[in-house]
Amino acid sequence: MNQVLDIIADYLFPSDCAACGKPIAAFDGGLCGDCLDEIKEPVDACPRCGGQVRGGTCVICSDRAWYPDRCFAAAEYSGAMKALVKNYKFQKRRKLYRKIATILQTAVSSASLEVDTVTAVPMSRAKIRKRGFNQSELVAREVARNLGWQYRMLLKEVGAAGTQKDLNVLDRFLNVRGRYEYSGENLCGARILLIDDVFTTGATINECARLLKGAGADKVYAVAFARRTLYQEMQEIMGDVP
């Protein structure tokens, strides 16, 4: 039945690869095989936070309290993965969440994590109305469904804050304080998998993990779609990277 539906979808709604633009079949999920093969894991990743290690020192977590028990990204934020995420978030190609979830699912399965609950970094109602969906939540729900874990929305965004891109690393960690809250029942003994979209400094993930630990969670693991280094972000701001 699924194959029949895919054939009908290909005929009625032809699709193209989110990265290279060439025509693809519906069952490809928005990304052609060649582009999928280009997606690589982050290099020089810190085993503690997943950030970039330079000169033997992590540029993200080496001098601050870090709350996730493990944090990593499924891919480097470049090439096909960057195009996939940008099309998903900003071009309203909502169905791409399934392909991103598949990529995350592979990374999570390889990590052999013991998890009982999956959650996502929350978005305010105003942001969801503007975008139409919470990009992290859609992927998190799909990952939970595929791996047989429960999904719960444990946090909510309550504070107004400007874009993190305008701030230095320290100020980003300060900027997210008070931005989220947990108001549910005690999470005593829970093992949580927290999902976010793009990891740059990890400030958002760290704050969310702090709140979950404060609510009683025993373990908080975090995974992002992709990791963007501070250098990559600087190039984007300066216009050197499309």
Question: Going from the N-terminus, what domains does the chain have, and what CATH number goes with each?
Answer: 1-38 (no CATH), 40-58+68-238 (3.40.50)
pTM, 2 dp: 0.88
Distance CA 72, CA 191 (A): 16
Q: Evaluate whether 137 touches 153 at the Cβ level (below 8 Å).
A: yes
Instruction: Encode 202-213: b = buried (16+ Cβ within 10 Å), e = exposed.
Output: bbbbbbbbbbbb
pLDDT in tens, 189-199: 999 999 999 99
The encoded tokens of residue 187 equal 């999470």
Distance CA 140, CA 195 (A): 6
pLDDT in tens, 96-138: 999 999 999 999 999 999 999 999 999 999 999 999 999 999 9
Give residue 165's pLDDT.
Answer: 56
Give residue 169's pLDDT.
Answer: 59
Give residue 104's pLDDT.
Answer: 97
Give residue 162's pLDDT.
Answer: 56
Give residue 10's pLDDT.
Answer: 52
Please compute the mean of the pLDDT values over residues 49-53 and round it to a whole number. Answer: 93
Q: Is the pLDDT of residue 234 over 80?
A: no
For 176: left if phi > 0, alpha if psi spans -120 to 50, otherwise beta; the answer is alpha
The encoded tokens of residue 220 equal 């908080």
Strand 219-227 vs strand 191-199: parallel, antiparallel, or unpaired?
parallel
